């Protein structure tokens, strides 16, 4: 099953409507965290480092649906923790689907087969399964052997039951491009709808602080991973974001694009940084000094971040809000993203292309405001999770 055309249309009309009304800051995806509790303790995760009394807390169904209504974003991602540990997660999902919001429930899939009967297949609902590579890499990343095999079985079961299933993959320093490419083949063979990629963000509380990617290494890794990509691979991300990861398109962070709501309230300023909370979405938007975030701000916490939660909204806004971004996206969908040896150049735009050689000694340029040759059907717009 492909990403529904209705989803692409919903996102496009939402963004264009905001543009036409002159709205410059608007959410694209609500990151709804109903709990922080998890049944894994991944070395690169900074979301579960809370005391026991906090980990035992859940958002109520009413709190979750109120946040969905208050935010108004067309899509909702439910990360965690592990959402399947929430006793009413099926009611939360059903309430969001009833509002005709597209919801992606992130899960490590250890409990997915057991709880599959609690959910109903819908074009508005997808399981987004955390898969950080092939068996060896994934089990190492989540610090538990056997998790890849469990997740693989759960993916097969969910697809067989008629559910939309995507994967989300975080890459860290040390990832081997050829192994990642083999992983893409494996997920394609499983029949997942699409794959989401992102470099890891350096959570201060994460146990492993040695393998977070710096900006230049991110570009090198994603160029080598995506060069001459198989036409069978499907990525549920915008072409401009994948170009950005390869250093071929400039984007500035949109920190308000993926606002986060959890047991503490609306998290300031974004999903990745925790600098206080507000009690309403409006207060979050109006009281946060957004100019203090993003690579151009000089904020050291943002200097190496190229994570999807900040930059995918920028890519989507450029795709539907600028002629150059739209034309580049169309060209990427039809012909693929040119590799470094191609004479083809993206159109000139405020989101100027970056086509530096991998061995360039020049520093990686600072982003400005807004696939190598992959199948024309391989790009889906847009899904942001994790």
Q: What is the pLDDT of residues 79-138, one digit of tens each?
A: 988 999 999 999 999 999 999 999 999 999 999 999 999 999 999 999 999 999 999 998
- Residue 352 φ/ψ, nearest 5 degrees: -60, 145
Question: 169: burial class by Cβ within 10 Å (0-12, 13-18, 19+)?
Answer: buried
Q: How far apart are CA 116 and CA 163, in angstroms?
A: 9
Q: What is the pTM of this model?
A: 0.84
Q: How far apart are CA 2 and CA 97, in angstroms?
A: 18
| Residue-by-residue DSSP string for 59-77 | --HHHHHHHHHHH--SEEE
Q: For residue 125, which of 138, 116, 134 has the smallest C-alpha distance? A: 116
Q: How far apart are CA 173 and CA 43, in angstroms?
A: 13
Share of the chain above pLDDT 90, in %: 57
- Residue 77 φ/ψ, nearest 5 degrees: -105, 135
Which residues partner with 32 through β-bridges? 261
Mean pLDDT (the chain) is 84
| H or E segment and range at residue 170 | strand 164-171
**First vs last C-alpha separation in the chain:** 22
Of the segments 37-41, 215-219, 333-337, 356-360, which one has the largest average pLDDT value? 215-219
Give the tens place of pLDDT for each residue, 40-73. 877 666 666 788 889 999 999 999 999 999 999 9
What is the topology classification, in CATH, of domain 5-237+254-288?
TIM Barrel (3.20.20)
User: What does the pLDDT read at residue 377?
Assistant: 38
Q: What is the mean pLDDT of residues 281-290?
A: 96
User: What does the pLDDT read at residue 202?
Assistant: 57
Q: How far apart are CA 133 and CA 182, in angstroms?
A: 9
User: What does the pLDDT read at residue 340?
Assistant: 59
Burial 51-62 (b: 16+ CB within 10 A, else e): eeeebeebbebe
Q: State both tokens at 123.
A: 């074009």
Which residues partner with 269 through β-bridges? 274
- Cα-based angle 224, 193, 39 (whole degrees, multiple of 5): 85
Residue that is written with structure tokens 């012909």 in the block: 335
**pLDDT above 50: residue 355:** no
Q: How many CA atoms lie within 13 A of 163 on its CB side?
A: 26
Domain parsing of the chain, residue ranges: 5-237+254-288
Which residues partner with 165 through β-bridges? 127
């Amino acid at each position: 099953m492909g990403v529904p055309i209705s989803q692409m249309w919903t996102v496009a009309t939402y963004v264009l409507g905001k543009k036409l009304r002159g709205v410059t800051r608007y959410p694209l995806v609500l990151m709804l965290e109903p709990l922080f509790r998890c049944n894994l303790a991944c070395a690169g995760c900074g979301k579960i480092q809370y005391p026991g009394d906090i980990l035992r807390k859940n958002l109520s169904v009413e709190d979750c649906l109120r946040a969905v209504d208050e935010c108004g974003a067309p899509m909702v991602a439910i990360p965690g923790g592990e959402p399947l540990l929430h006793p009413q997660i099926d009611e939360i999902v059903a309430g969001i689907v009833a509002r005709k919001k597209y919801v992606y429930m992130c899960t490590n899939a250890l409990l997915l087969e057991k709880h599959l009967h609690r959910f109903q297949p819908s074009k508005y609902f997808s399981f987004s399964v955390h898969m950080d590579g092939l068996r060896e890499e994934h089990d190492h990343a989540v610090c538990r052997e056997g998790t890849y095999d469990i997740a693989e079985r759960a993916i097969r079961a969910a697809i067989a039951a008629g559910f939309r299933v995507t994967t989300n993959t975080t890459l860290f320093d040390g990832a081997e491009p050829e192994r990642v490419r083999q992983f893409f083949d494996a997920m394609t063979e499983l029949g997942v709808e699409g794959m989401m990629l992102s470099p890891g963000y350096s959570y201060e509380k994460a146990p492993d602080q040695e393998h977070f990617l710096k900006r230049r290494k991110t570009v090198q890794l994603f160029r080598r991973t995506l060069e001459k990509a198989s036409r069978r691979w499907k990525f549920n991300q915008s072409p401009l974001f994948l170009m950005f990861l390869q250093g071929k398109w400039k984007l500035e962070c949109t920190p308000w694009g993926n606002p986060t709501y959890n047991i503490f309230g609306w998290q300031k300023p974004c999903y990745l940084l925790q600098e206080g909370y507000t009690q309403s979405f409006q207060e979050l938007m109006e009281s946060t000094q957004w100019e203090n975030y993003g690579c151009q701000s000089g904020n050291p916490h943002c200097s190496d971040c190229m994570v999807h939660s900040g930059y995918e909204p920028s890519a989507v806004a450029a795709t539907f809000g600028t002629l150059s971004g739209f034309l580049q996206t169309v060209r990427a969908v039809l012909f693929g993203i040119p590799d470094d040896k191609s004479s083809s150049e993206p159109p000139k735009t405020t989101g100027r292309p970056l086509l530096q050689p991998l061995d360039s000694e020049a520093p990686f340029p600072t982003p400005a405001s807004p696939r190598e040759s992959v199948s024309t059907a391989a790009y889906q717009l847009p899904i942001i999770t994790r």
